[in-house]
Amino acid sequence: MDGTSREAQINAAFVAVADTLTTDYDMVDLLHTLVQECAGILGMKAGGLMLVGGDGELQLMTSTSEAAGFVEVMQLNAAAGPCIDCFRTGVAVSVKDIAAPSRWPAFQKAALDQGFHSVLATPMKLRGKIIGTMNLFGATPEEVTGRDAAVAQALADVATIGILQERIIREGHLMEEQLHRALDSRILIEQAKGVIANELTLSMDDAFQLLRKFARDHNLTIRSVAESVSNRQVSVNQIVATTPAQNRG
């Protein structure tokens, strides 16, 4: 990719992330857009994002693939890994070659088993307040440049500002309620993905893309569509009916 194309991609990524920051933005869509755009710019295979819940513990909020989600959950269960260290220190953690000797053996095995060979964990923080981490996984051993790390941090900062915007801070408990609602949304979305994947014989990742497109096409939140699918108020046939054939594999 030449310099001009790359700059255009970076600018488009900032626009895509900022575009989700409306007054009543869909947090799930914001987080997924953030990870997806960053992974694309840095040439990473997949990514995930964790946010701290009301209990102060990290929770997986979104991932661009089942493989990335598995590695994220493994780190949470083991309470160890580059993403955990990033959250605890508030400093980005980059691993050029996951296969090299590691202080996180459980993470190392899980990541390699899923086809990941490098990782960049970026803190989501504002004025010292850390609310989570964005984690990108590469398919090959490759060092992330300082410029790429700065781009990832800048995009993460934009999303963090959106989550911690003034009205949330002013209203006190609203942030905690919003994060809790986002976790509930993830559970609903996983259920809806399962319904769609089962009926259409699709992967969970492809099922999410159908769900997300339907929500965007109808100006709805992903959560509301997922709830309707889970409750059978919206059928899988309706989801497919408004989706171009090429997206249905």
Domain harbouring 140, CATH code: 3.30.450.40
- Taking alpha carbons only, the member of 68, 50, 42, 25 closest to residue 155 is 42
Total-model pTM: 0.70
Phi, psi at 67, each rounded to 5°: -65, -45
- Is 249 contained in some domain? no
Helix (H) or strand (E) holding 122: strand 118-126
Last residue of a domain, one of 164, 193, 213: 164
Both 114 and 150 in one domain: the answer is: yes
Do 134 and 195 share a domain, yes or no? no
Domain contains 248 = no
Residues 24 and 147 in one domain: yes
**147 part of a folded domain:** yes
Q: How many CB atoms lie within 10 A of CB 122?
A: 30
Amino acid code (one letter) for 54: G
Together in a domain, 34 and 148: yes
Q: Are residues 148 and 227 in the same domain?
A: no
CATH number at residue 211: 1.10.10.10
Name the stretches of the chain with pLDDT < 70: 1-4, 19-25, 165-176, 178, 242-249
Question: Are 239 and 137 within one domain?
Answer: no
Q: How many domains does the chain have?
A: 2
My answer on whether 72 and 134 are in the same domain is yes
Query: 29 lies in a domain?
Result: yes
Give pLDDT, residue 104: 96
Query: 61 lies in which domain range?
Result: 3-164
Give the integer Cα–Cα distance in Å for 115 and 30. 26
Residue 116 forms part of a structural domain:
yes
85 in the same domain as 19: yes
Residues β-bridged to residue 51: 59, 132
Residue 115 lies in a domain: yes
Alpha-carbon span 235 to 122, nearest angstrom: 38
107 within a domain of the structure (yes/no): yes
State which of 99, 133, 164 marks the end of a domain. Answer: 164
Residues 218 and 123 occupy one common structural domain? no
Residues 148 and 187 in one domain: no
Domain end, chosen from 164, 190, 225, is at: 164
Closest to 115 measured CA to CA, from 206, 48, 45, 47: 45
Look-up of token digits 């790390």: 149
Angle between helices 204-217 and 27-42 (to 10 degrees): 120
157 plus 186 within the same structural domain: no
Is 174 inside any structural domain? no
